[in-house]
Amino acid sequence: MSKHSSRNPRLRTAEAADAEAITRLINAAFQVERFFLGADRIDIAEVRARLARGRFILAEEDGAIIGCVYVEPDGERAYLGLLSVEPSVQRAGIGKRLMDAAEDHCRAAGCRFMDLRVVNVRTELPAYYQKLGYVQSGTAPFPEHVDTLLPCHFLIMSKPLIPLEIQP
């Protein structure tokens, strides 16, 4: 199947047994960050910690995990991160399907807003998320415990998950 053909992977919620496959997928998808990070994006301990706090939504095809996204609902706001698609099948709409599923999940959990963070040196990412309705709402420092090859910080982007009431 070509890289740009229509794909329709099965979506499901991750289980503890998926932690190793999720770790491998995220590190493969985030290989493009080596220019400023110089290391893997995540380790299995962090994936397990996130599985305990929130939820990974997975895209599966022929029994293989080809995409994932992490969501953590918290009251009326939810955090979304680690949107990852297997590099060989990127640009086939899988990321958009995962984003829609993540937003639907958080909407169903009662969240009114979705927040995400992108690293400022990944200049292609804000435009991608803007096309999905996100706007930059602030900045945040990069974690001090993470050594980077370049100075960087986070851009915080947010999106309302329900239409904002029209004010009279």
Task: Give pLDDT, residue 5.
Answer: 45
Distance, CA of 125 to CA of 120 (rounded, Å): 9
Which pLDDT score is estimated for 165?
59
| Interatomic CA distance for residues 127 and 29, integer angstroms | 18
Cα-based angle 26, 62, 56 (whole degrees, multiple of 5): 35
Distance CA 126, CA 35 (A): 18
Confidence (pLDDT) at 39: 86
What pLDDT does residue 164 have? 60
Place of tokens 């991608």: 128
Is there a contact between 68 and 22 (Cβ–Cβ < 8 Å)?
Answer: yes
pLDDT along the chain (168 residues), means of 10: 60 97 96 89 96 97 96 96 96 95 96 97 94 96 89 96 63
Supply the pLDDT for residue 162: 83
Angle of helix 44-53 versus helix 19-29 axis, rounded to 10: 110
